[in-house]
Amino acid sequence: MSRIVVVGIGADGVDGLGAQARAELATARRIYGSRRQLDLLDGAVDATVHRWPSPLLPALPDLFDGAGDVHVLASGDPLLHGIGTTLIRLFGADRVTVVPHVSAVTLACARMGWAVAETEVISLVTAAPVTALRRGGQAIVLSAGASTPAALAELLESAGRGDSAFTVLEQLGGPAERRRDSDARAWAHEAPGDVDDLNVIAVRYLPDERVSALPDDAFDHDGQITKADIRALTLLALNPRPGQRLWDVGAGAGSIAVEWCRSWRQCTAVAFERDEQRRNRLSRNVDNFGVRVEVRGGAPAALADAPIPDAVFVGGGLTEPGLLHECLDALASGGRLVANAVTVESEAILAQAFSEYGGELRRFQHAQAAPLGSLTTWRAHHPITQWAVTVP
């Protein structure tokens, strides 16, 4: 079976390649890549070069059939939001050899004087710009093209983060490298018209309002929200892991979905909410935190073609016939379901599920201090019954 060799190349072209990359390209017979990447070879190889077909993903299995090694040219580090990861996932690590170049992220951090380990990496190559909104910290944002910096700057300005430090770095590592420092507000109002397609954006988000757990007033809601104390206990029971997907059923304001996505990088969620006004609030909350949450209509109808979850939270709709069982059926072995109930009817459903499936059944009672005249009393919240189970 032929090898697939992925060679990273930077804006400095063939001159910037190391010995291993040069040796691989010198023996290559077929090389695939984008037009920009292939142009960087500038006639320095004898191989036949092929531009990627469009759409790319469906075509990949057929491109690498047949005898002889196939080489792929990729930008920078092919394993950092690059084609290398996709090819390994499709063909396996034993068949794919990766020869990385210095990544644009590392070069950008070097120009900014930032520690790579302390800097988030956000790709907008295929994602919507709103997914790069943050409430603090710093990030290197990989652009989809020349228009990405202006689009992101406008979003930051409209979200009240126009003071964010905003640096656009173009053609990193190449002879035409350029750096422009600004803030998001200035870039949003007077974006230059000559931004290169090959750019990344370094953003230090201001004001810095990062918190480990969000207060209730951080969300736009009408009272239909899992309160902060119970939210923390619910996330503990859900036990999110990096890259996992949650179904938030009866999502209300979407606080569980948002907190799930904030817990680890690459976590995503699908939120189901039947009320249109609440869906609109939910969407605003998703945009405000820059998390990846798909907002859908009410369950169980909207569950049918939803992407498979790693975990499910049911915060509303437990009395809907068959809903709980449909959520359980959607989970693979090892998947986690957590359901909260505040009514007697919903609590009875959870008690029956506990009897049938096992798991853990808990009841939480919490209260907050509140003024009573000149003194202080305890104001109790509704007790919460919670059932948590792992699918065998």
- Tell me: the pLDDT tens digits for 290-320? 899 999 999 999 998 999 999 999 999 999 9
| Mean pLDDT within 30-55 | 91
Cα-trace Rg, the chain: 25
| Mean pLDDT within 175-190 | 96
| Mean pLDDT within 63-81 | 89
User: Would you state the pLDDT for residue 230?
Assistant: 93
User: Would you state the pLDDT for residue 216?
Assistant: 85
User: Would you state the pLDDT for residue 62?
Assistant: 85
User: Would you state the pLDDT for residue 43?
Assistant: 83
- In this prediction, residue 63 has a pLDDT band, given cuts at 50, 70 and 90, of confident
Q: Where in the chain is the domain with CATH 3.40.50.150?
A: 216-391
Whether the per-residue pLDDT at 119 is higher than 80: the answer is yes
User: Would you state the pLDDT for residue 190?
Assistant: 93
In the chain, pLDDT over 70 holds for what percent of residues? 99
Return the CATH number of the domain spanning residue range 4-101.
3.40.1010.10
Q: Where in the chain is the domain with CATH 3.40.1010.10?
A: 4-101
Selected residue with higher pLDDT from 9 and 265: 9
- Assign 96 to helix, strand or coil: strand
| Mean pLDDT within 179-195 | 96
pLDDT tens readout for residues 198-245: 999 999 999 998 777 788 888 989 888 888 999 999 999 999 999 999
User: Would you state the pLDDT for residue 223?
Assistant: 82
| Mean pLDDT within 181-198 | 95
* pTM summary value: 0.77
Q: Which CATH number fits domain 216-391: 3.40.30.10, 3.40.50.720, 3.40.50.150, 3.40.50.1580?
A: 3.40.50.150
Using alpha carbons, select from 158, 130, 122 the residue that is nearest to residue 290: 130
End-to-end CA distance of the chain: 38
Distance between CA atoms of residues 218 and 104, nearest Å: 34
User: Would you state the pLDDT for residue 298?
Assistant: 92
Structural tokens at position 266: 């690459």
Question: Number of helices (H) and strands (E), helices first, in the chain?
Answer: 12, 19
Range with lowest mean pLDDT among 55-69, 111-125, 134-148, 150-164: 55-69
Q: What is the mean pLDDT of the chain?
A: 93
DSSP-derived letter for residue 95 is T
| Mean pLDDT within 112-136 | 93
Contact between 310 and 320 under an 8 Å Cβ cutoff? The reply is no
| Mean pLDDT within 143-152 | 96
Whether the per-residue pLDDT at 76 is higher than 90: the answer is yes
What value, to the nearest 5°, has the Cα angle with vertex 108 and ends 103 and 114?
115
User: Would you state the pLDDT for residue 211?
Assistant: 75
User: Would you state the pLDDT for residue 266?
Assistant: 86
In what helix (H) or strand (E) does residue 91 lie, and over which residues does it extend?
helix 83-91
Return the CATH number of the domain spanning residue range 105-204.
3.30.950.10
Whether the per-residue pLDDT at 1 is higher than 80: the answer is no
Q: Where in the chain is the domain with CATH 3.30.950.10?
A: 105-204
Contact between 87 and 6 under an 8 Å Cβ cutoff? The reply is yes
